[in-house]
Chains A and B, each alone.
Chain A
């Protein structure tokens, strides 16, 4: 959902386009003159401004001066003739998009879906969304490539912050579908409204259903439905989802006619397969419907080689947004690469954003905080690890080995290297622990 300012002196266009954008779930503020637009936009932030260039009381571009977050607002000019595009581009630069009359839904959707550079696509991005050149990411790209050629449902698994929605969007882009990418968070649905959100409802189906509403399955027709936090869906609601997936049909609440559905379902969870099975977060039959093609997204600490390219990508993004030229010192880069990033790529982006805001005005370099750790950091988890009075040397050694293995997701070879022991020694220690009482 985006905040949009729409400015045009044609009242018919203004009304219909406002209603159309609202139906597409965006919030729209409209104005028919430059003066009115300046008044309603003063001090407000917008994601997107759609303007008529030539207005009766002046240039539509004057409106931009009133907007709070001008640098982060995308600007689109509505024009009747494509030739205006090149003239305006010379005058106002390349960071302006265009809608050429007569405008249709496809033009509008393309404009609002394209969140990245209005110009050329970023070649560093895989499938237009993913950053990273590590072996684990290339394995992921290979899986995306394979699954994109099929209609199989995908279950994405990975820790919080690894970018599950970004991977889902990459699968959607790689599949080149005709329909839209529709994200929905199963953990955020109100319990009583889950069926309505998924399958839609007819007017009068329940108190408050004043209009017919399409569900996310219908909205994702010929596209991709992304069901985030799928394991948060109450178990008693899961048979309805299972039935829709099995029959490829849905019925709106209060409706009688079935609607054929045709979309790929990509679902995601931050729970492990063991937890899903043992704790019963998902019904077994639903799990197999959703996880036709399961994909594990690696945590950032297992692809620390990607940290520099991710930082470069985030820095370029912030530099473009804020029209700056901030860089990073080699020492800081090494510090960021050594940290374990328990919050994964999300935490790294947040840290770069913070350091960007704190950047030194003279040197134009990022300024990192003294302590990178977040309340969710592994450092916190390992507080019990270490030397305390009363512990034996064997206890401390065992804790160190177990923490190292946990940190490296069980990779014994890397753990042995990190601990400075041979792989054989590590195995000997682990065997001796398994012979002891489990802890």
Chain B
């Protein structure tokens, strides 16, 4: 696995973590304060973090493809 792939695998945990913390925050906000405006703001953050997660997963897929050797390289001149 290349270092870029490792970095992307590490980075994808950050938006995932923010989705988790914001989801807990939204749940607790509604349970304890019932503040709908705050809850809407928190849901918007979750959507934004989902987009960030998607971008990183796209980059990760491209990187994994780039890491894999091409069919020519594996079969070499014997094909």
Interface residues of A (CB under 8 A from B): 10, 12-13, 16-17, 19-20, 23-24, 80-81, 101-105, 108, 202-203, 211-214
Contacts and interface: CB of A to CB of B under 8 A. Distances in A.
Contact of B22 (A16, A23, A24): A16
A213 B32 contact: yes
Contact of B14 (A17, A101, A212, A214): A101
Contacts of B13: 80, 101-102
B28 A105 contact: yes
Contacts of A213: 32-33
B8 interface: no
Contacts of B10: 80-81
Q: Place the interface of chain B in its size category.
A: 20 to 34
A24 B33 CA distance: 12
A17 B13 CA distance: 16
B25 A23 contact: yes
A214 B19 CA distance: 24
6 contacts: A16-B45, A20-B24, A80-B14, A101-B14, A104-B20, A213-B33
B21 interface: yes
Interface string B21-38: 110110111011111000
B17 A203 contact: no
Nearest to B19: A102
B34 A13 contact: no
B16 A101 contact: yes
Interface of B: prevailing SS = helix
B18 A202 contact: no
Given A16-B45, A20-B24, A20-B25, A102 B17 contact: yes
Given A80-B13, A80-B14, A105 B24 contact: yes
Given A102-B16, A103-B17, A16 B25 contact: yes
B35 to A, nearest CB: 5
B34 A102 contact: no
A80 B9 CA distance: 10
Contacts of B22: 12, 16
Contacts of B49: 12
A104 B28 CA distance: 12
Given A13-B17, A20-B21, A80-B14, A214 B31 contact: yes
Contacts of B16: 101-102
B21 A16 contact: yes
B34 A212 contact: yes
A211 B36 CA distance: 10
A214 B32 contact: yes
Contacts of B18: 10, 12-13, 16
Nearest to B33: A211
A17 B18 CA distance: 9
Contacts of B32: 23, 212-214
A10 B42 CA distance: 16
9 A-B pairs with the lowest CB-CB distances in the bound complex, closest first: A212-B34, A102-B20, A101-B17, A211-B33, A105-B24, A80-B13, A16-B21, A102-B17, A12-B18
B7 to A, nearest CB: 11
B31 to A, nearest CB: 7
Nearest to B27: A105
Contacts of A105: 24, 27-28
A218 to B, nearest CB: 8
Given A80-B10, A202-B34, A212-B34, A23 B17 contact: no
Contacts of A108: 24
Contacts of B29: 23
A214 B24 CA distance: 16
A12 B17 CA distance: 10
